[in-house]
């Protein structure tokens, strides 16, 4: 069986995230930093740390004008025009699955077409497309197989997507670690 290095970069909540993600065939997970370091996780920080930060981290923002590794997209159609002008190439554009659960059938259909549009936009504009669960509890987590199925429905080959995301993540984490060393 083919091993895929699946990554879910947006998970939060008060549960054993590391063990749960492993049980759901997800290799790496991104969580907010709560002051208690955990193994095998990537921390999502609101801004770049001014002091040395000895854990892997990514700077995440919803604001286009703030420098970040990942920009969370709430409404792609509203920010599409500004994205190319304001963002640096290589930035990750993240969309979460969790809000789609509450949507009606028409809105879910639109959400799927937004995913396709965002993926194409990222491909042509040299941004990294990121799809995350956005889970806030154990039951909101999405298994690796379901993530693959969503990617296939959007027209993305899962193997290629996970490979690209792993490469992008490694590059970002190496950059962030060196930044932390320079700051000390």
Partner 1 sequence: MLKRRPKRRYLSIVQADISSDPVAAIKKRFSELFGTIATEKAALRLIEHRENEFIIRCSTEQLENVLVAIALTDPPVITIDMSGTLKQLRSRRQYSYWKVNQSL
Q: According to the binding rule CB under 8 A, does residue 19 interact with partner 1?
A: yes
Q: Which of 32, 46, 67, 109 binds partner 1 (CB under 8 A)?
A: 109
Q: Which residue, 90 or 109, is less far from partner 1 as judged by CB?
A: 109
CA dihedral 154, 19, 41, 124 (to 10 degrees): -10
Q: According to the binding rule CB under 8 A, does residue 79 interact with partner 1?
A: no
Distances (CA, A) of 157 to 77, 114, 150, 178: 24, 17, 10, 32
Helix (H, G, I), strand (E, B) or coil at 103: coil
Q: Which of 23, 163, 174, 183 binds partner 1 (CB under 8 A)?
A: 23
Q: Which residue, 84 or 145, is less far from partner 1 as judged by CB?
A: 145
- DSSP code at position 65: T
| 124: Cβ contacts below 8 Å, ≥ 6 apart | none
Distances (CA, A) of 54 to 38, 58, 129, 158, 181: 12, 12, 26, 31, 9
Binding to partner 1 (CB under 8 A): which residues in 117-176? 137-143, 145-150, 152-153
Q: Which of 68, 97, 130, 165 binds partner 1 (CB under 8 A)?
A: 97
Task: Report helix, strand and coil shares of the chain as percent, to nearest 5.
Answer: 45, 15, 40
Shortest Å distance, C-beta 73 to partner 1: 18
Shortest Å distance, C-beta 97 to partner 1: 6
What CA–CA distance (Å, rounded) separates 57 from 32? 9
Residues paired with 95 in a beta bridge:
131
Q: Which residue, 138 or 164, is less far from partner 1 as judged by CB?
A: 138
Q: Which residue, 3 or 139, is less far from partner 1 as judged by CB?
A: 139
Shortest Å distance, C-beta 53 to partner 1: 30
Which of these segments, 71-79, 83-91, 94-102, 168-176, binds partner 1 (CB under 8 A)?
94-102
> Site residues (CB under 8 A) for partner 1?
15-16, 19-20, 22-24, 97, 100-102, 104-105, 108-109, 137-143, 145-150, 152-153
């Amino acid at each position: 069986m083919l091993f895929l290095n699946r990554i879910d970069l947006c998970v939060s909540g008060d549960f054993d995230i590391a063990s749960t993600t492993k049980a759901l065939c997800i290799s790496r997970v991104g969580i907010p930093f709560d002051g208690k370091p955990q193994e095998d996780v990537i921390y999502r920080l609101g801004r770049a740390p001014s002091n040395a930060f000895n854990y892997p981290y990514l700077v995440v923002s919803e604001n286009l004008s703030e420098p970040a590794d990942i920009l969370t997209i709430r409404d792609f159609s509203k920010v599409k025009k500004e994205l190319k002008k304001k963002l640096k190439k290589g930035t990750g554009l993240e969309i979460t699955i969790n809000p789609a659960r509450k949507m009606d059938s028409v809105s879910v259909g639109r959400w799927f077409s937004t995913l396709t549009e965002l993926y194409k936009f990222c491909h042509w504009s040299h941004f990294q497309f990121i799809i995350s669960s956005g889970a806030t509890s154990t039951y909101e987590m999405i298994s690796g197989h379901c993530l693959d199925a969503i990617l296939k429905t959007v027209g993305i080959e899962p193997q290629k997507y996970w490979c690209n995301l792993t490469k992008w993540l490694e590059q970002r984490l190496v950059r962030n670690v060196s930044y932390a060393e320079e700051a000390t």
